[in-house]
Each structure stands twice: as structure tokens, then as C-alpha cells.
Amino acid sequence: MTGTLSGEAGIVRDEHKLFATLTLVFIILATTFRVLIVYLKKEGSYLKWVAMSLYLCAFIFVGYTGYLGGILVQDYLMGI
């Protein structure tokens, strides 16, 4: 979707893609894990905190991905 970038802009774009992928993976894992917890009726156990930790990681990744996207737009005029 993005054009060819070289130098520092390319590094930022690649990092942006990495964290976007990590966000997707962590949300899928957390949701699958949460569904499994509900299905097995283990909602009162420590497993719910594992799922919440995965969601927290995904939340952090979304924020950092957005930050990198902002850098791409503001500093490198990407998307304009």
C-alpha cells in the first residue's frame, strides 16, 4: 500500500508494519484465549488476567503503531 521508501523513512515504515502485525496477532490470541476461558467456565481463575495482559499488550502496540503512523505523515509527508 505504501510506496518505496529509503533511509530513515523506510525504517519507520517497516517498524510501523511490524507493530501493526503484532497488534493483530495479540488481539486474535487474546480473543481466542478469552473465548476459551468462557467456554471452559474458568472465568474466576487467574487465566482471565492472562487474557487481560494480552489485551494490554495489544493496546500498547496500537498506541505505538499510531505514533509511528503520525511520524510518517508529519515528518515524511507519507499519505499526503
Residues 25-42: tens digit of each pLDDT: 999 999 999 999 999 998
Three-class SS of the chain? CCCCCCHHHHHHHHHHHHHHHHHHHHHHHHHHHHHHHHHCCCCCCCHHHHHHHHHHHHHHHHHHHHHHHHHHHHHHCCCC
20/76: higher pLDDT = 20
- Give me the pLDDT at residue 80, please: 65
Q: What is the pTM of this model?
A: 0.84
